[in-house]
Structure 1
Amino acid sequence: MLAMELLVDVGTNAVYIEPQWPNIHNAIHLVGGEPRPVALAFDGEWRLDLDAVFARCDARTRAIFLSTPSNPLGWTATREELQALLDFSRRTGIWIVSDEVYGRLYFDGEVAPSMLQIAEDDDRVLVVNSFSKAWAMTGWRIGWLSHPTGVADQIAAMTQYANSGTAAFVQAGAEAALRQGEPLVAEIRERARLGLDIAYEALAKLDGIILPSKPKGGMYAFFAFEWQEDSREACARVIEKARVGLSPGYLFGNASRSFLRMCVLRDPDQIRQAAARMVSALS
């Protein structure tokens, strides 16, 4: 929200990549901007069409907003894709806002490719992060925003009026997470990886399932059924027949209206039980 308040005004727009957690669309909308979605292409795997992203930008575009690894997909931008976005920003002056909240829940290393690995201090890049996921501090509502030094005063003023500071015990928890939390991060990452493996092994047994390539990050399985294009109805059927709660894909944009999201960062036995119920009820 702070990133959007800094960059976007009425009469301007921000391009964002979907399927996407709806808060990104709504943050653009709340500050009076025009949200402009660009869908990832799907051919069994979710792929970023950089030309489509760039073509969606115009003279009124203030920012390109993405999350990587993403919610709900676990899609993760490559270093080359991030570099292409940064190069475009340098040519056009359009800001890049990268939500990297799931960056530590990455299965090909300890951290996903990040804008912070390639951006210079004067680049128009904002990186959003949080203690919520990798350190299991979801309810504590604490995170951080990496930004160029040139906007430090503006960010400081906005933060003052947005929250006036974070509670002392929450700050203490965040400090402990940074100093002592790496074993927990590794545990959560492995739990997400295991949950995804369990879900994929079971869901692959279902007839008519559209199961994308296993994501490289995040904590969700995202899939669809050939026999049901309405994700709301599909979710209703799954909860009625299998007693498993899923999120309907239409919440994340038009590109995923037929998909369902399953959270796999749970006790492995719960994932096994949920997947087995779905297979039994829907086969």
Structure 2
Amino acid sequence: MEYKTAKRMECLPFSGIRAVMEKANKMQQAGEKIIHLEIGRPDFDTPEKIKKAANGSLAAGHVFYTSNYGIPKLREAIAKWENENHGTDYEASEVLVTVGVGEATFASMDAFLDPGDEILVPNPVWLNYIHVPSALGAVPVTYSLKEENDYQIDFEEMESRITDKTKMIVVVNPSNPTGGVFSRETLEKLSEIAIRHDLLVIADEIYSQLVYDGTEHVSIASLPGMKERTITLGGFSKAYSMTGWRLGYLCAPVGIIQACVRVHQYTVTCASSFVQEAAITALTDCADDVEAMRQEYQRRKDYVVKALNEIDGISCNNPHGAFYIFVNIKSLGMTSMEVAEYLLENAKIALVPGSAFGSEGEGYLRISYACSYEELQEACARIKKAVEELKNK
């Protein structure tokens, strides 16, 4: 029989990141030695204390449904952690535990966006923020983040995109894919715009613990007048190296939580019970583990930024957050997809073309330095050789 998918599925292309990963994996299975710099997945094991807590929870029989909202102790721990680290004043009742930040993203948009509503989204950005609202019948309207502005917001451009249909603004801080971190001044100006136009803000802060060079991370919900209109997204995948555990959360006023939980209860019911138990240990007893990983990311970043900027024909700024570097390859005279394919075929390095993150990503490649220092050394040497060969053709 012919299967006719819903028309809205036309708005949901397959992930460009996963497409690169699939091709790289096939080459690897065929015997090629591929260095994977395409996936935003920490190479560290989950800290032992977290795994032990999960095992203890399973052994204690904590294998049943929890409240849709999450277990009370975890909600309390999340609120406390956010308040102590981000200067907010959340209560446990203002926390919803989700199945990763991906589900938190969907729930927060599905709860508030009607067909025809407009949502301001960074460009470039993790493309869930483009395709989820599109699938819901809403209209993503992009605002540019440019290298020459150190990936800060051009507020004249942003305000020009606001109409009477604009309902939400997305902020990803630190950024995937650029690694940029918004300054306090930028977030204060953004707050003024959100308040003046009465807009909700989705603030994706999954990388908030991974900032470098003494950079300050500012949570927009901590600024005057913003908690009431902000949905803060956080999670455990990146800082705690828990990608496969699939646990995230959103913090917001109770009225927003009540709207989001209705989506949540009809899609996933609740996050895994024993994973929630382990997450309490992550928040309360693993700060040293996170700091050790952050310091190693800093070391890797410093090396790769220096090495790439020594290669004639490519360059990059010095990102202050996440674990990504956005590499400028415009002088090579090829599209980002062409360069990514060239490096995969000739240097055996898997990178993501910047075009996978939106139009402003064209002319760039995203490197994830969430792999070993030794692999990064080898990768930079391969990139140097491949770019030199390309330029001499």
Q: Does residue 149 of structure 1 match 2:254?
A: yes
* Aligned residue number for residue 276 of structure 1: 381
* Aligned residue number for residue 359 of structure 2: 254
Checking the alignment, whether the CA contact within 8 Å between 1:235 and 1:246 is kept in structure 2 is yes
Distance 2:274 2:164 in 1: 45
Q: Does residue 191 of structure 1 match 2:330?
A: no
4+ residue runs over 3 A deviation: 108-111, 119-122
Listed one character per residue, the Cα deviations across residues 18-66 of structure 1 (whole Å, up to 9, x for unaligned) are: 1101111112112110011111133273331012112111100110112
The within-5 A match list for 1:58-69 is 58-69=163-174
Q: 1:157 to 1:47 in 2, by over 3 A?
A: closer
Structure with bigger RCO (C-alpha 8 Å, 6+ apart): 2
Distance 2:290 2:124 in 1: 26
Deviates more, 1:131-140 or 1:34-43: 34-43
Q: Does residue 26 of structure 1 match 2:131?
A: yes
Deviation at 1:134, TM superposition (A): 0.4
Checking the alignment, whether the CA contact within 8 Å between 2:351 and 2:367 is kept in structure 1 is yes
Distance 1:273 1:209 in 2: 17
What is the TM-score with the length of structure 2 in the denominator? 0.69
Aligned with 1:218 (options 310, 318, 322): 322
Checking the alignment, whether the CA contact within 8 Å between 1:105 and 1:111 is kept in structure 2 is no
Distance 2:324 2:350 in 1: 13
* Aligned residue number for residue 110 of structure 2: 5
Aligned residues: 282
The within-5 A match list for 1:40-51 is 40-43=145-148, 45-51=150-156
Between structures 1 and 2, the one with greater strand share: 1
Checking the alignment, whether the CA contact within 8 Å between 1:229 and 1:257 is kept in structure 2 is no
Consecutive unaligned residues in structure 1, runs of 5 or more: none
Between structures 1 and 2, the one with greater helix share: 2
Listed one character per residue, the Cα deviations across residues 139-175 of structure 1 (whole Å, up to 9, x for unaligned) are: 1111110111232322232221121111122112211
RMSD: 1.7
Distance 2:248 2:171 in 1: 17
Identity of aligned residues (%): 28
Deviation at 1:256, TM superposition (A): 1.3
* Aligned residue number for residue 200 of structure 1: 305
Distance 1:68 1:150 in 2: 24
Bigger radius of gyration among the two: 2
Checking the alignment, whether the CA contact within 8 Å between 2:251 and 2:257 is kept in structure 1 is no
Give the SS at the match of 2:176: coil
Deviation at 1:110, TM superposition (A): 8.2
Deviates more, 1:265-274 or 1:38-47: 38-47
What is the TM-score with the length of structure 1 in the denominator? 0.94
Q: 1:110 to 1:204 in 2, by over 3 A?
A: closer
